[in-house]
Amino acid sequence: MTPLLETRHLSVGYRSGAVLSDISLSLCAGQVLCLLGPNGTGKTTLFRSLLGILPALSGEILLEGRPIGALRRREVAACFAHVPQSLDTRFGFQALDLVLMGASARLGLLAQPGKPEQNRALAAMEELGIADLAPVSVCALSGGQRQMVLLARALAQNASAIIMDEPTASLDFANRHRVLQAILRLKAKGIAILLSTHDPDQAAMIGDQALLAGKGGVVANGPVATALSEASLSAVYGIALREERLSGGARHFRAAQLARR
C-alpha cells in the first residue's frame, strides 16, 4: 500500500538553521501518528512544511507517492486538511460558513460554492453531531464546539489525511473526550491523521505511531508500543516518568515522584 504521507530524511527549519532533522515517517490510510515534544522543538514548523507552506531544508515529502513540490495547491488540498489549535473569531462567521470553506477548498480561485459543497458541509456537521450549530456565530461557540466545527471543516474538505495541531489543547474533560471520539471515527473511515499532543496517555490510546521530538532532535520514532516508553518520554521532557498499566491494559504515564507506590 502506498503511504498517504511519507518523508525521507526530512529537515525543516529556517534560514537560521534546522529545528528538526532526518525525519523519516510513513502514514497510511486509517492510521494515527502522534507527535509529542516540548514547545519550541519544531512541531508546528514540521506541520507547515508538510502542508507545503514552508519549504523543507532537505529531504523529501511525498503525498500519495508524489513529491509535494510537484503538486499544485489544489492537489495538496486533496491530500491534506488542517485543523489549527485555535480559531480566529474576529469575523463572526456562522459555523456552517466556516465548514463550507473546507468543502470549497478544491474550487478555483473565483469559483463560488454551490449545492454540492453546501450538502457536503452539512453532511460533515451531521456526521460529527453538530448540525444544530450550523446557524450559530463562531463567536458564540465554546472552545469544544469550535474545535468540532474545525474538525467538520476538515472532514468536508474530503481530504485523504488531516493534520491537527494540539486538537484538545485548553479543552475541558468532556470536550477532550468528544474530540478524541471524533478522531477515532475519522480513523475508522480510513482517514489518516497526524496530530500533535502534550499528553502521552492520549497518544497511547488513539495512536498507531509516535514521533517524539526533544531539544536535540528526534528521540523516538515508530509504533506507539515501542516509541512511547519511560526512557524516551523522560529524555524528551527532562523529568523521570514512570509507566503504569491500568485496568483493561490502558497505559498511563506520570512523573516518577507522583507515581503510585
Beta strands in 127-256 (DSSP E): 161-165, 192-196, 209-214, 217-223, 241-245, 251-255
Sheet containing strand 217-223, edge to edge, reads 80-83, 161-165, 192-196, 32-36, 209-214, 217-223
- CATH topology classification for 5-258: Rossmann fold (3.40.50)
Mean pLDDT of the chain: 89
Q: Is the pLDDT of residue 125 over 90?
A: yes
> Which grid coordinates are listed for 38?
516540548
Higher per-residue confidence, 166 vs 108: 166
C-beta of residue 211 within 8 angstroms of C-beta of residue 50:
no
Q: Is the pLDDT reported for residue 110 higher than 70?
A: no
What pLDDT score was predicted for residue 258?
Answer: 64
- pTM for this structure? 0.89
Give the start-to-end residue ranges of the domains of the chain: 5-258
Q: Which of 89, 69, 97 is nearest to 142 (CA)?
A: 89
Dump pLDDT digits (tens) for 175-224: 899 899 999 999 999 999 999 999 999 999 999 999 999 887 899 999 99
Q: What pLDDT is stored for residue 75 in this prediction?
A: 83
pLDDT given at position 217: 86
The mean pLDDT of 109-127, rounded to a whole number, is 84
The answer for residues whose C-beta is within 8 angstroms of residue 39's C-beta and 6 or more apart is none
Neighbours of 59 (CB within 10 A): 16
Q: Residue 107 pLDDT more than 70?
A: no
Could you give the CA distance from residue 43 to residue 38 in angstroms, rounded to a whole number? 9
Q: Please, which pLDDT band fits residue 111 given cuts at 50, 70 and 90?
A: low
DSSP-assigned letter for residue 135: T
Q: Is the pLDDT of residue 259 over 70?
A: no
Alpha-carbon distance 195 to 117, whole Å?
Answer: 26
**Can you give the pLDDT at residue 46?**
94
Tens-place pLDDT, residues 231-256? 999 999 999 999 998 887 889 998 88
- Decide if 182 contacts 189 (C-beta within 8 A): no
pLDDT for position 27: 95
pLDDT at 69 over 90: no
Of 76-80, 166-170, 190-194, 214-218, highest mean pLDDT: 190-194
Q: Identify the pLDDT of residue 108.
A: 61
Query: Could you read off the pLDDT of 154-165 as tens digits, one per residue?
Result: 999 988 999 999
pLDDT above 70 covers a percentage of the chain that reads 96
- Quickly count: other Cβ atoms within 10 Å of residue 77's Cβ: 21
Q: Where are the beta strands (DSSP E) in 30-183?
A: 32-36, 58-63, 66-67, 80-83, 161-165
Residue 261 has pLDDT above 90, yes or no: no
Q: Where are the alpha helices (DSSP H) in 191-229?
A: 200-206, 224-227
